[in-house]
Amino acid sequence: MRRLFLRLIAVMAVLGAAAPAQAQGNQRATDYVLGAGDVIKVTVFQSPELTLDTRIPETGVVTYPLLGPVTLGGLTVRAAEERIADGLQKGRFVKQPQVSILVVMQKGSQATVLGHAVRQGRYPLELSNTKLSDLLALAGGVAPEGSDIITVTGTRDGKAFRRQVDLKSLFKGGNPADDFVIQHNDVVYIERMPQIYVYGEVQRPGVLRLERGMTVLQALAASGGLTLRGTQRGIKLHRRGADGAVQETTPGLQEALQADDVVFVRESLF
Question: Is there a single domain that holds both residue 201 and residue 228?
Answer: yes
150: closest CA among 138, 140, 162?
A: 162
Q: Give residue 29's pLDDT.
A: 61
The domain tally of the chain equals 3
91 and 131 share one domain: no
* 23 within domain boundaries: no
Do both 247 and 207 map to the same domain? yes
Residue 197: count other Cβ atoms within 10 Å of its Cβ: 15
- Picking from 89, 105, 121, the residue at the C-terminal end of a domain is 105
In 3-state terms, what secondary structure has residue 224?
A: coil
Q: Which of 73, 88, 105 is the last residue of a domain?
A: 105
Q: Please report, for the chain, how many H helices and E strands are present, in that order.
A: 5, 15
Task: Please check whether residue 145 lies inside any domain of the structure.
Answer: yes
Estimate to the nearest angstrom the gap between the alpha carbon of 93 and the chain centroid: 43
Question: Pick from 192, 223, 240: which residue ends a domain?
Answer: 192
pLDDT score at 25: 46
90, part of any domain: yes
The DSSP code sequence of 25-57 is: HHHHHHTPBP-TT-EEEEEETT-GGG-EEEE--
170 and 237 together in one domain: no
Domain range for 236 is: 195-265
> CB count, 10 Å around CB of 77?
23
Residue 101 domain-assigned (yes or no): yes
Output the pTM of the full model.
0.58
Q: What is the CATH number of the domain that holds 141?
A: 3.10.560.10
Whether residues 140 and 76 fall in one domain:
no
74 and 130 housed in the same domain: no
Please state at what angle helix 77-90 crosses helix 2-30, rounded to 10 degrees: 80
pLDDT digit string (tens) for the chain, length 270 residues:
444 433 433 333 333 433 444 444 444 566 678 888 889 999 999 999 999 999 999 899 999 999 999 999 989 899 999 999 999 999 999 999 999 999 887 777 789 999 999 999 999 887 768 899 999 999 999 998 999 999 999 988 888 999 999 998 888 887 888 999 998 889 999 999 999 999 999 999 999 999 889 999 999 999 999 999 999 888 999 999 888 899 999 999 999 999 999 999 998 876
Q: Are residues 37 and 99 in the same domain?
A: yes
Residue 147 lies in a domain: yes
The answer to whether residues 188 and 148 belong to one domain is yes
Residue 164 confidence (pLDDT): 94
In a domain, 1, yes or no: no
